Amino acid sequence: MASGQQLRVLVVDDNADQAQGMAYLIADMGHQADYAVRGRAALELARRLQPDVALLDLALPDTNGFELARELRRDPELKPLRIFGITGLPVDRDEARSRGFDDVLAKPLDPNLLEMLLRRAGR
């Protein structure tokens, strides 16, 4: 990684294979990555791990990414973090930003774009 700063990244996707794959990709970029497949588990994991960045699928079985982003932003136990939505559906970026996301990325994630966003988040 060009900046040399290692980030702690939380990936949340209800597809366990995709979540794990993204976590491995992020680890290959030089960051620490953990993943969860449910919103409730993600919130508990975030409190324990204190991530710098969260990648949240917008469609989760027990909540949605918008609600989870709101909870992460409001949780007094968490340090401030960058939150990116990930989705396979078209989403209004302005609406996503107004609902707690720093940005929204399309699935499948472009590894170069992801690396660029993580580099920016590390500044």
**What is the band of 42 on the pLDDT scale with cuts at 50, 70, 90?**
very high
Number of structural domains found in the chain: 1
pLDDT the model gives residue 4: 61
Residue 2 lies in a domain: no
Confirm if 47 and 40 have CB atoms less than 8 A apart: no
91, pLDDT greater than 80: no
pLDDT the model gives residue 12: 97
Residue 98 lies in a domain: yes
pLDDT-wise least confident of 27-31, 61-65, 70-74, 79-83: 61-65
To the question of pTM greater than 0.85 for the whole model, the response is yes
Confirm if 12 and 55 have CB atoms less than 8 A apart: yes
The set of residues, in sequence order, having a beta carbon less than 8 Å from that of 43 and lying 6+ positions away, is 68, 71, 72, 75
Q: Residue 12 belongs to a domain with what CATH number?
A: 3.40.50.2300
Residue 1 lies in a domain: no
DSSP 70-86: HHHHH-TTS---EEEEE
**What are the Cα distances from residue 99, in Å, to 7, 30, 33, 105?**
24, 29, 24, 15
38, pLDDT greater than 60: yes
pLDDT-wise least confident of 13-17, 91-95, 99-103: 91-95
For residue 79, what are the domain limits? Answer: 8-121
Report pLDDT digits (tens) over 1-15. Answer: 344 689 999 999 999
Average pLDDT over residues 24-32: 97
pLDDT the model gives residue 54: 97
117, pLDDT greater than 60: yes
